[in-house]
């Protein structure tokens, strides 16, 4: 039956050629074929098509030459089979963002206050002129002023609108930037295909059905395909199936290759059969509704959670774990909230800074709330006691509206105090600072994938770096060789080597290497030849060319199809072997690999006559001493070439590798040089000065590693640092059962500088050990560089993972936080500089903001209590808020970094955000500003000889007196903003101010706006114009800030022991025991309060992992899974970093519903017990 159908279809589709584009099989058929696995797939392939070759024929492509690359043909294929592109989710519109910005609690309170105020101003009570209502009636009718009562409410509303628009615009530009970054990452991803017989790299989006793609170790497959030819190919399909075992792919057993899976071993070629939304990945996306706009409906029907098995795959990004569902609408987030009550899940704290900021914001918010409540209570009590108690007036019904108007005024004053106290500029400052840095880091060859990585990098205390390509140039050349009992210190003359040995070397190198590795002519005249593919293999191919031989001719003679069996290189084997079948029926195997590994398997060696002679253990030891160690001590990598012949009588068992890879004959040993990058020693010195320890973790021989480490300056002569091999390292840190003991590790890592011959697990163990270690005064923050697939676990575990943009495999890039687009160690130093700069920018902003907060709150509070009216009106406060928040965050968050940032030690995880020096500056400046303002408030009218503005009746016109107070206040802030540029007590606050045009324009712009507000603001801003001399006084007092700043600098911080620091990191002790499952380092207290706008940043960078996680759910049925999740929160949380979208509420929220509690409770509160999901503190 199947046969029947199969035979029928292709004919059918060709007959209807008009819409199927004359291809021998339709999209649907191919899609159905790709849904099958292993034996089933092979059977269907053979029944329907005969073989893979026939599939190629029907798709009009050649398995060897590939497509012609003719544009019309490619276009036709796109029309018939679709493009290799999965459409992204629609971006949020500006209006949606405005609506989100309006959700802010403080703004809502202000809006209500403004509307009530507006309503009351239009309501004129009949008994308004009644004398009995007391002084309240006094100023109401002056000069028709009552008409202007609405202005205050309107002005508040207007300023709310401004704040909302600014926030929404910021979020919108962030989303835009983020999408730009996304598309850049997508464009950078290229894949190797064969077209017109040429191997070329094209962007993934340009791959079409029928393309012949070359796949190799470390690739992330971009489309579905069928294997044409493969060597020892193993694929990690866990992202699709959830099974962690690697799947062997071969033509006989399982030729189906699926998009989104990782090549873990081997290489091969495949014909692409499905792309974009028709590939397995794309189908899942369509199920999720990513391509369509119907997610909302789906989400309402009931959300399905992704499979927990794979949750640990995706890394918590910026505290908000969004890659698990980048495909959900806002309702999804709301739904998530409900679920969060049921599953209490700890999260790994990613961002050190976010945790500190959140705790700080919560503390400040509480203080503000208390202050504003007290203000309102005092004002109301004072008024009531004064009116009804002291003056003994009866409460008359017709006076009620007037009294209510007073109460509304008090309420507005209270809200004003709260508005000023809550630093809503913080999220903005963080976002602007990070976004600005990320943009600029692009220029420094750092492609940041996870926003918070750039700030974490500033705290880094250790860097574990690869050697090849990061510290060295990754341009390998053979410089020494040992052939036929002779050690050549430079490349030997071809005549000096016997023809039969030369033949073995040429074949051994040309055939036993990936055919994708080759040497191309230089791009520029007189340049170096280009090395394509594996650099070590390129060095050996270069050696063949230096011996005046041609490797390509050998490869043409023995194409890849003729290779009988290939054992590809992997981190366990550390060698590669290729088997050929001889015409006589026997087999010959060529091997190459690390010299100490291959030599152990050699029993013979070719002598000077080119004949094999016995090679004993003592011969080997002698060779290691005389040849290999001297090469290694010059920093050379040693590679051994060997071969073995198998007789024709019986075919060996190719699967028992240990037997096959034994009894070899050594042909030659070569020393490969990989020169240290010239700029690296200097960069490492900078790191050491900055208090960052650089460690080298490499797969190379220990002598080579030591030589390179000394050249780089990682090892300094005369210091007792450790250099260990992987085996020795494991022996020292593991107990009898083979488990890693943290105490043992703690004895080793502080002195360890070089780890040689290390396996990927060693790297992971080391990184994990350093991060988890609690010895020393501060916990370590570790950055790791990696390029291979096997570095994935270490890159994920590290606080910041750097992947190599050029040499890195897709898997490594997927696991990393930052991609180094030039593979250069100096770019890491730049990342450290930017990271520290972000941290400092935020501290600068805090120092400025908190000074304004302290002053404004105290002024509003005391002024209101003594004079029944805040000296700074609500609208003026909002203007000050706008300056401090939006503009100051713009100005201070965009300071460019300078080299001096690298001269101090890293802050580490638990250093507070606000140091003693900053606390001294904040309080010092607050004292100056308060002294001035209170002097002006209570004695200003005498000093300037003007009318007093105190005790003005309701709706009276603005006075010069209060205008001067307001103007002076703003001037002091402006000059203090210049002071805030330095946070470590430096004297020269103007240093390189011209390097930051944004700062200069913000300060000048604010100044100009202030002049306009004072002179033309009138009633809405409660301002009246000032004379020139009054202006000069205001500016003079402002300049006094700079002089006062110099005075503060002279007070040594060490004497001010009483000053507290604020904004600590979370310490281990503050987290209750039961909340610390084994594999979760810290609980992120930042996630609860992250801003909605920021979420946009994190959406979708790790697309492929996302979709995969969902598949498992579809296969197992989500309902049972959700139930399980709810029933066993503790188990789930211990075994997986299960993620959920944290509630993106505003920072201030957490402060609103809580009483002040101790910091320990504040720390515990952010991981709320079940049932309390918004992150507020639970006393």
Active site residues: 466
Residue 1138 per-residue DSSP state: -
Query: What percent of the residues of the chain are helix, what percent strand, and what percent coil, each to the nearest 5?
Result: 55, 15, 35
Nearest CA among 477, 499, 481, 592 for reference residue 545: 477
997-1009: string of b/e by CB count within 10 Å (b at 16+)?
Answer: ebbeebbeebeeb
DSSP 740: B
d(CA 827, CA 85): 32
DSSP 566-629: EE---TTT-EEEEEEE-TTS-EEEEEEEEHHHHHHTEEEEE-TTS-EEE--HHHHHHHIIIIIH
Nearest to 304 by CA among 959, 901, 906, 1113: 1113
Task: Count the neighbouring beta carbons within 10 Å of the beta carbon of residue 1076.
Answer: 15
Are 863 and 871 contacting, i.e. CB atoms less than 8 angstroms apart?
yes
528, 522 in Cβ contact below 8 A? yes
111, 415 in Cβ contact below 8 A?
no
* H or E element, residue 274: strand 262-274
Pairing of strands 818-820, 800-804: parallel
Rg (CA), the chain: 36
In the structure encoding, which two tokens stand for residue 143, read together?
């000069």
Which stretches of 422-511 are DSSP H helices? 425-443, 452-458, 499-511
Total residues belonging to the chain? 1179
Are 1120 and 77 in contact, with CB atoms under 8 Å apart?
Answer: no
* Crossing angle of the two packed helices 960-979 and 997-1016, in degrees rounded to 10: 180
* C-alpha span between 826 and 685 (Å, rounded): 11
Coil vs helix vs strand at 1031: helix
What are the φ/ψ torsions at residue 484 (nearest 5 degrees)? 55, 55
DSSP string, 692-706: -EEEEE-SS-HHHHH
What is the widest separation between alpha-carbon atoms in the chain? 126
Query: Within 10 Å of residue 626's Cβ, how many Cβ atoms?
Result: 11
Q: 868: alpha, beta or left, given left = phi > 0 and alpha = psi -120 to 50?
A: left
Q: What is the DSSP string of 344-377?
A: --------HHHHHHHHHHHHHHHHHHHHHHHHHH
Alpha-carbon distance 1178 to 412, whole Å?
29
Strand, coil or helix: what is 200? Answer: strand
Structure token pair of residue 883: 């300056």
Residue 591 C-alpha from the chain's centroid: 41
For residue 357, give Cα distances in angstroms to 321, 361, 472, 926: 19, 6, 39, 22
Residues paired with residue 640 on neighbouring β-strands, in sequence order? 593, 669
Half-sphere exposure of 1053 (CA within 13 A, CB side): 17
Q: How far apart are the C-alpha atoms of 1144 and 319, rounded to whole Å?
A: 11
Distance CA 755, CA 764 (A): 12
């Amino acid at each position: 039956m199947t046969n029947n159908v199969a035979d029928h279809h292709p004919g059918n589709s060709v007959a209807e050629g008009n819409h199927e584009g004359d291809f021998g099989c339709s999209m649907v058929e191919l899609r159905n074929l790709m849904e099958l696995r292993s034996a089933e797939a092979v059977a269907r392939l053979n029944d329907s098509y005969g073989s893979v070759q026939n599939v190629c024929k029907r798709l009009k492509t050649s398995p060897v030459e590939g497509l012609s690359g003719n544009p019309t043909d490619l276009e036709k294929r796109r029309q018939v089979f679709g493009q290799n592109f999965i459409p992204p989710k629609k971006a949020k519109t500006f209006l949606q963002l405005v609506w989100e910005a309006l959700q802010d609690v403080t703004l809502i309170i202000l809006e209500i206050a403004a509307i009530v105020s507006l309503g009351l101003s239009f309501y004129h009570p009949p008994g308004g002129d009644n004398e009995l209502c007391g002084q309240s009636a006094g100023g109401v009718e002056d000069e028709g002023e009552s008409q202007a009562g609405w202005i205050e409410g309107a002005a508040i509303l207007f300023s709310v609108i401004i704040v909302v628009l600014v926030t929404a615009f910021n979020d919108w530009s962030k989303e835009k930037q983020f999408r730009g970054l996304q598309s850049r990452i997508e464009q950078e991803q290229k894949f190797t295909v064969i077209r017109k017989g040429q191997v070329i790299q094209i962007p993934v989006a340009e791959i079409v059905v029928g393309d012949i793609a070359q796949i190799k170790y470390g690739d992330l497959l971009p489309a579905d395909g069928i294997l044409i030819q493969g060597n020892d190919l193993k694929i990690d399909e866990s992202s699709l199936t959830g099974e962690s075992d690697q799947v062997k792919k071969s033509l006989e057993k399982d030729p189906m290759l699926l998009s989104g899976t990782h090549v873990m071993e081997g290489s091969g070629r495949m014909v692409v059969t499905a792309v974009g939304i028709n590939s397995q990945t794309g189908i899942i996306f369509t199920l999720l509704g990513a391509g369509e706009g119907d997610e909302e409906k789906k989400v309402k029907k009931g959300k399905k959670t992704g499979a927990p098995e794979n949750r640990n795959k995706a890394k918590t990004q910026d505290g908000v774990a969004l890659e698990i569902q980048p495909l959900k609408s806002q309702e999804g987030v709301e739904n998530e909230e409900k679920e969060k009550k049921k599953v209490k899940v700890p999260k790994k704290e990613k961002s050190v800074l976010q945790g500190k900021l959140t705790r700080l914001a919560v503390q400040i918010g509480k203080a503000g709330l208390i202050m504003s409540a007290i203000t309102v209570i005092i004002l109301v009590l004072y008024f009531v006691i004064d009116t009804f108690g002291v003056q003994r007036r009866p409460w008359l019904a017709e006076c009620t509206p007037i009294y209510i108007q007073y109460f509304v005024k008090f309420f507005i004053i209270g809200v004003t105090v709260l508005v000023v106290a809550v630093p809503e500029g913080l999220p903005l400052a963080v976002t602007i600072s990070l976004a600005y840095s990320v943009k600029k880091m692009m220029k420094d060859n750092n492609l940041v994938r996870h926003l918070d990585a750039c700030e974490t990098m500033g705290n880094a205390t250790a860097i574990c770096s690869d050697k090849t390509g990061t510290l060295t140039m990754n341009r390998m050349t053979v410089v020494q060789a040992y052939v036929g009992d002779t050690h050549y210190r430079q490349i030997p003359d071809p005549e000096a080597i016997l023809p039969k040995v030369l033949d073995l070397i040429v074949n051994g190198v040309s055939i036993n290497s990936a055919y994708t590795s080759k040497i191309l002519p230089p791009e520029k005249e007189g340049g170096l030849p280009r090395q394509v593919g594996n650099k070590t293999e390129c060095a050996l191919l270069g050696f063949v060319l230096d011996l005046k031989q041609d490797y390509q001719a050998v490869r043409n003679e023995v194409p890849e199809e003729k290779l009988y069996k290939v054992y590809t290189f992997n981190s366990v084997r550390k060698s590669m072997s290729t088997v050929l079948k001889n015409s006589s029926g026997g087999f010959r195997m060529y091997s190459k690999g690390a010299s100490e590994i291959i030599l152990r398997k050699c029993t013979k060696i070719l002598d000077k006559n080119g004949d094999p002679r016995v090679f004993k253990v003592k011969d080997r030891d002698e060779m290691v001493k005389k040849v290999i160690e001297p090469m290694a001590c010059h920093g050379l990598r040693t590679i051994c070439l060997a071969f073995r012949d198998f007789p024709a009588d019986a075919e060996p068992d190719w699967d028992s590798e240990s037997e096959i890879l034994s009894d070899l004959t050594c042909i030659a040993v070569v020393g490969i040089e990989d020169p240290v990058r010239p700029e690296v020693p200097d960069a490492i010195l900078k790191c050491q000065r900055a208090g960052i320890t650089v460690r080298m973790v490499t797969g190379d021989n220990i002598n080579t590693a030591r030589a390179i480490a000394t050249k780089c300056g990682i090892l300094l002569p005369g210091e007792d640092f450790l250099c260990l091999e992987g085996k020795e390292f494991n022996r020292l840190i593991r107990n009898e059962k083979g488990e890693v003991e943290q105490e043992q590790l703690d004895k080793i890592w502080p002195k360890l500088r070089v780890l040689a011959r290390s396996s990927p697990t060693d790297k992971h163990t080391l990184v994990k050990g350093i991060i988890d270690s609690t010895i020393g005064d501060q916990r370590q923050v570790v950055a790791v560089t990696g390029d291979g697939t096997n570095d994935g676990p270490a890159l994920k575990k590290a606080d910041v993972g750097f992947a190599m943009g050029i040499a890195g495999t897709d898997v490594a890039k997927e696991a990393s936080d930052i991609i180094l687009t030039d593979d250069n160690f100096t770019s890491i130093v730049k990342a450290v500089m930017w990271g520290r700069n972000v941290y400092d920018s935020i501290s600068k902003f805090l120092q400025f903001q908190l000074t304004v907060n302290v002053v404004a709150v105290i002024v509003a509070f005391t002024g209101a209590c003594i004079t029944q009216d805040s000296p700074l009106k609500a609208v003026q406060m909002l203007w000050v808020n706008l300056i401090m928040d939006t503009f100051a965050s713009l100005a201070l968050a965009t300071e460019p970094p300078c080299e001096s940032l690298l001269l101090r030690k890293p802050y580490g995880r638990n250093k507070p955000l606000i140091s003693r020096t900053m606390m001294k500056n904040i309080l010092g400046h607050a004292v100056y500003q308060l002294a001035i303002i209170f002097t002006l408030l209570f004695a200003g009218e005498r000093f300037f000889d003007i009318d007093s503005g105190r005790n003005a009746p309701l709706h009276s016109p603005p006075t010069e007196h209060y205008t001067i107070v307001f103007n002076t206040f703003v001037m002091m802030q402006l000059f203090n903003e210049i002071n805030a540029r330095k946070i470590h007590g430096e004297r020269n606050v103007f240093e390189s101010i011209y390097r930051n045009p944004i700062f200069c324009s913000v300060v000048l712009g604010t100044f100009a706006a202030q002049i306009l507000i004072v002179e033309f603001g009138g009633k809405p801003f409660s301002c009246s114009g000032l004379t020139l001399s009054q202006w000069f006084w205001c500016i003079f007092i402002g300049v006094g800030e700079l002089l006062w700043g110099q005075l503060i600098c002279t007070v040594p911080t060490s004497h001010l022991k009483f000053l507290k620091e604020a904004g600590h990191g979370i310490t281990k002790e503050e987290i209750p025991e039961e909340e610390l499952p084994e594999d979760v380092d810290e609980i992120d207290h930042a996630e609860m309060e992250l801003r909605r706008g920021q979420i946009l940043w994190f959406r979708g960078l790790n697309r492929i992992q996302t979709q995969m996680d969902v598949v498992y759910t579809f296969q197992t049925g989500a309902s049972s899974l959700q139930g399980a999740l709810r029933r066993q929160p503790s188990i789930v949380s211990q075994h997986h970093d299960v993620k959920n979208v944290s509630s993106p509420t505003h920072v201030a929220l957490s402060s609103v519903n809580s009483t002040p509690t101790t910091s320990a409770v504040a720390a515990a509160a952010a991981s709320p017990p079940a049932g309390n999901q918004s992150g507020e503190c639970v006393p």
